């Protein structure tokens, strides 16, 4: 509404060119179809931005991508239903004395369209906007499917999700070798890397059975399901490494599977900022350190200095008992072998 008031002010007091532009924009903004489309656009953009945020967050995991895309697809499918669109499009719009009003602003019904002798009524406009919004939802669903088909149908991503997404685990009574095949898929994909860790598939499956029982017992004591990465990171830090040596290797690989390249793109942009035209002689090591500091989002309130202090202390030999430096002792000036001035006077 503030922007509308600003445009109205420009339309009255601006220059000739700006007045014409402001009045033209107002003529479009104050139409019934535009306001209806705006009501649709607000929830639609919220859904799309939720997907976009996943691929900008450094903490995104495979589970988050599956869950967010699936959620947005369901929301868009629900949004495209005519009854829901009719309710959303009519939000804030009402008829008063033969005029259409939105937040105390009288809307224009528009010029008569071709083939019509008069401007359409509110129901006709709503029907047209519903068809337009349904087309947008259908095209968005199509592009989401084609865009994420590689991820959603990838056997490695699917196995990682099925294996460690505890909210979809079957009950203990229905658990008939659940996850064993998924472990084999991940083992086959990461075979070269797992060989370096002396990985044993049979031991991993035995540890997996024990880990499932342990996690089910922990989840049963919680009032609500924790976040995916939070729960598994706590498992990694709480349980003994020797008891789950092989399955923990698989878990760590799943947690660090790269989902996007946003961090790499940020690094290239940051490199151009840090190494500007005035700092072209920066040493590569210094540039790397400065970029690492800038990419780390820790603030003063959240930064933990103890690891840095420990690294500094272990880097070289320190002398904690050394006293602060005082005034430096003056160097002893050696007397010259020449006789002093007094001796010379005596001789004279």
Q: Which residues of 255-289 are buried (b: 16+ CB within 10 A; e: fewer)?
A: beeebeeeeeeeeeeeeeeebeeeeeeeeeeeeee
**Residue 140: its pLDDT value, please?**
93
What digits encode the pLDDT tens for the residues 197-243?
Answer: 889 999 999 999 999 988 988 888 888 888 888 888 888 887 777 88
**Residue 139: its pLDDT value, please?**
94
**Residue 272: its pLDDT value, please?**
87
**Residue 1: its pLDDT value, please?**
47
Residues of the chain with pLDDT below 50 are 1-2, 112-113, 115-118, 332-335, 341-348
Query: What are the helix (H) ranges across the chain?
Result: 2-13, 16-29, 32-54, 62-79, 82-89, 122-152, 155-164, 180-189, 191-195, 201-220, 228-238, 245-255, 262-274, 284-295, 306-315, 341-347
- Note whether 36 and 125 are within 8 A (CB): yes
pTM recorded for the entire structure: 0.65
Please state whether beta strands 99-102 and 93-96 pair in parallel, antiparallel, or not at all (unpaired): antiparallel
DSSP lists the bridge partners of residue 102 as: 93, 105
């Amino acid at each position: 509404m503030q922007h509308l008031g600003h445009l109205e002010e420009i339309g009255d007091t601006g220059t000739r060119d700006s007045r014409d532009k402001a009045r033209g924009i107002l003529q479009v903004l104050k139409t019934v179809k535009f306001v209806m489309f705006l009501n649709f656009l607000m929830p639609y953009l919220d859904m799309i931005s939720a997907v976009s945020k996943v691929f900008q967050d450094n903490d995104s995991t495979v589970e988050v991508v599956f869950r967010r895309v699936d959620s947005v697809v369901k929301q868009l499918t629900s949004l495209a239903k005519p009854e829901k669109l009719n309710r959303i499009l009519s939000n804030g719009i009402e008829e008063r004395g033969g005029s259409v009003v939105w937040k105390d602003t009288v809307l224009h019904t528009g010029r008569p369209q071709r083939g019509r002798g008069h401007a359409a009524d509110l129901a006709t406009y709503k029907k047209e906007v519903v068809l337009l919004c349904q087309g947008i939802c259908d095209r968005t669903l199509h592009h989401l499917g084609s865009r994420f088909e590689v991820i959603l149908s990838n056997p490695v991503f699917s196995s990682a999700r099925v294996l460690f997404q505890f909210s979809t685990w079957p009950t203990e009574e229905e658990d008939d070798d659940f996850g064993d095949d998924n472990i084999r898929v991940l083992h086959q994909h990461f075979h070269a890397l797992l060989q370096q860790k002396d990985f044993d598939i049979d031991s991993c499956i035995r540890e997996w059975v024990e880990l499932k029982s342990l996690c089910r017992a922990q989840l049963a004591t919680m009032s609500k399901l924790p976040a995916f990465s939070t729960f598994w990171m706590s498992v990694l830090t709480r349980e003994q490494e020797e008891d789950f040596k092989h399955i923990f290797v698989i878990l760590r690989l799943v947690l660090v599977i790269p989902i996007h390249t946003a961090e790499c793109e940020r690094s290239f942009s940051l490199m151009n900022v840090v190494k500007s035209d005035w700092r072209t002689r920066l040493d590569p090591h210094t540039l790397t350190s400065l970029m690492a500091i800038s990419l780390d989002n820790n603030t003063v309130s959240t930064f933990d200095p103890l690891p840095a202090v420990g690294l500094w202390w272990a880097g070289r030999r320190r002398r904690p008992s050394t006293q602060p430096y005082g005034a430096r002792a003056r160097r002893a000036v050696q007397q010259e072998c020449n006789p002093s001035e007094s001796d010379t006077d005596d001789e004279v």
